[in-house]
Amino acid sequence: MSYFNRIMDQITEITSSSTCPVCQRKSQQSIKKIGKKQTLLCPHCKSIFVNPD
């Protein structure tokens, strides 16, 4: 089970660039959250959004 956990930890560390729809600034977000269509938090303006891609 530790091998599986290690792989999952590596996947959660992968990030992708996402653009905030409010302030139009880019930030690094977890690819796991983007793939699951979970809400993301903009670190610049603190707005909550879902990546439309």
Q: pLDDT tens digits for 13-25?
A: 889 999 999 999 9
Can you give the residue range of the structural domain that contains 43?
2-49
How many domains are contained in the chain?
A: 1
Kindly tell me if the per-residue pLDDT of 11 is higher than 80.
Answer: no
Q: From CA 14, how far away is CA 28, in angstroms rounded?
A: 9
Kindly tell me if the per-residue pLDDT of 1 is higher than 70.
Answer: no
Place of tokens 């610049």: 44
Place of tokens 């290690």: 6
Cβ atoms 52, 27 nearer than 8 A: no
Kindly tell me if the per-residue pLDDT of 52 is higher than 80.
Answer: no
Structure tokens of 33? 């959250």
The SS3 assignment for 44 reads coil
Tell me what pLDDT residue 25 has. 96
Mean pLDDT of the 1-23 span: 87
